[in-house]
């Protein structure tokens, strides 16, 4: 089912994001995790893609396999900066052959393709969305940034770029993770004022290790509230308490988002099931 069709139906939409594993052992683990999370009845799952363009078929093949073997609705992420237009057409055809109807159209991170010869066919995700729309048959999503994309001068210009992406073909938006809901609500309000009317699904990620606390805020250019920082520092050596705090915090975030109009929640699972399972149990 196309995600937009599901979004039109009653009920909140829940989805889980996974990344393609590198080894066979990790592949097996991933299938176990996806099977485990399938019991929660997600509306769709998504599979990330590398920005480099070096391994697009890992995402494509894994998406097809999960859909065929586990019967889950899948959204494949597709980045464009590492690809030529001809390559994108090839990937899109293969996704179609695997019955994948939903694509998250992304630019990809520039620093990931440093040192590789640029393909020059794509500069922005909106150009990919336009090409996918022309190819036809896909429900196209795009990324949004409640705390603005790190390269954007300000949130207003980023929202103008978002609008261009939607005009080009994106029919729903999934946001970057954030830890303070006010960023999501302000973003949605500004986007609506700018004429963006498509559903905007918030993305949530429970931090489950001290290492993530050190890396993620910088990596994703998001602010970390003092409460989260202090608790994760406090429980750096106590995994169970840390998980308990993160689950409780993300559950609170999710409840507030859903109560105040978010159409659903997209969970960044990092290929693990425990935290996401607990949060969904809490909010349901
Ligand atoms: P764009 O929408 O093209 O925006 C990139 C920048 O260009 C922004 O600053 C924007 O304001 C600006 N811009 C856009 N259009 C214009 C224009 N017409 N004129 C001027 N400026 C413009 N990365 C991966 O490598 N693989 C993944 O699987 C992946 N999945 C993701 C999933 C989600 C939900 C999110 C939020 C991000 C994901 N990313 C992924 C990260 C993403 O690739 C990076 O954030 C990347 O830097 C930007 O991608 P984008 O699609 O948002 O780009």
For residue 62, the Cα-to-chain-centroid distance in whole angstroms is: 16
The number of distinct structural domains making up the chain is 1
Phi and psi (nearest 5°) for 223? -85, 145
Atom number of ligand 1 nearest to Cα 105: 51
The rounded Å distance from CA 67 to ligand 1 centre is 26
Query: Ligand 1 pocket, 202 CB below 6 A?
Result: no
- Name which residue sits closest to atom 28 of ligand 1, judged by CA: 48
Look at residue 116 in the predicted model and tell me its pLDDT: 65
Give residue-wise pLDDT tens across range 212-258. 988 988 899 999 999 999 999 999 999 999 999 999 999 999 999 99
**CA–CA dist 284, 278 (Å, integer):** 10
CATH number, domain containing residue 272: 3.20.20.220
The bridge status of strand 200-204 relative to strand 264-268 is parallel
Q: For 245-252, which contacts have Cβ atoms below 8 Å and span 24 or more sequence positions?
A: 246/206, 246/207, 246/208, 246/275, 247/206, 247/275, 247/278, 247/279, 247/282, 248/282, 249/179, 249/206, 250/204, 250/205, 250/206, 250/275, 250/279, 251/278, 251/279, 251/282, 251/283
Query: Ligand 1 pocket, 107 CB below 6 A?
Result: yes
Burial class (CB in 10 A: 0-12, 13-18, 19+), 93: exposed
Sequential pLDDT tens for the chain (284 residues): 999 999 999 999 999 999 999 998 999 999 999 999 999 999 999 999 988 877 778 999 999 999 999 999 999 999 999 999 999 999 999 999 999 999 999 999 877 666 666 578 999 999 999 999 999 999 999 999 999 999 999 999 999 999 999 999 999 999 999 999 999 999 999 999 999 999 999 999 999 998 998 898 889 999 999 999 999 999 999 999 999 999 999 999 999 999 999 999 999 999 999 999 999 999 98
**CA–CA dist 249, 181 (Å, integer):** 11
Give residue-wise pLDDT tens across range 163-200. 999 999 999 999 999 999 999 999 999 999 999 999 99
Look at residue 55 in the predicted model and tell me its pLDDT: 78
**CA–CA dist 26, 186 (Å, integer):** 39
Q: Which residues constitute the domain of residue 44? A: 3-283
Look at residue 115 in the predicted model and tell me its pLDDT: 64
Residue closest to 3 by CA, chosen among 179, 201, 283: 201
Paired residues of 17 in beta bridges: 46, 268
190 CB-side CA count, 13 A: 21
Atom number of ligand 1 nearest to Cα 164: 18
* pLDDT > 70 fraction of the chain, expressed in percent and rounded: 98
Which residues are known to be catalytic? 17
Query: Ligand 1 pocket, 164 CB below 6 A?
Result: yes
């Amino acid at each position: 089912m196309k995600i937009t069709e599901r979004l039109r139906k009653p009920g909140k939409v829940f989805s889980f994001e996974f990344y393609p594993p590198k080894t066979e052992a990790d592949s097996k683990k991933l299938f176990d995790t996806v099977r485990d999370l399938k019991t929660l009845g997600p509306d769709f799952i998504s599979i990330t893609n590398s920005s480099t363009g070096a391994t697009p078929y890992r995402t494509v093949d894994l998406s097809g396999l999960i859909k065929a073997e586990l019967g889950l609705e899948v959204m494949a992420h597709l980045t464009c900066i590492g690809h030529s237009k001809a390559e994108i057409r090839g990937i899109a055809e293969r996704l179609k052959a695997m019955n994948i109807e939903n694509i998250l159209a992304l630019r990809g991170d520039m620093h990931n393709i440093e040192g590789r010869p640029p393909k020059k066919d794509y500069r922005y995700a909106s150009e990919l969305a336009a090409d996918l729309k022309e190819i036809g048959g896909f429900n196209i999503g795009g990324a949004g940034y409640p705390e603005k994309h790190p390269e954007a001068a300000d949130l207003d210009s980023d929202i103008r770029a978002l609008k261009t992406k939607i005009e080009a073909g994106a029919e729903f938006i999934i946001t970057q993770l954030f830890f303070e809901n006010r960023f999501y609500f302000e973003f949605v309000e500004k986007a609506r004022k700018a004429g963006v009317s498509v559903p905007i699904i918030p993305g949530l990620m429970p931090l489950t290790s001290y290492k993530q606390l050190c890396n993620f805020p910088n990596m994703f250019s998001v602010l970390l509230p003092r409460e989260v920082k202090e608790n994760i520092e406090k429980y750096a050596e106590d995994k169970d308490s840390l998980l308990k705090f993160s689950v409780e915090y993300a559950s609170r975030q999710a409840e507030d988002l859903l109560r105040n109009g978010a159409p659903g929640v997209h969970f960044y699972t990092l290929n693990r099931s425990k935290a996401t399972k607990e949060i969904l149990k809490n909010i349901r």
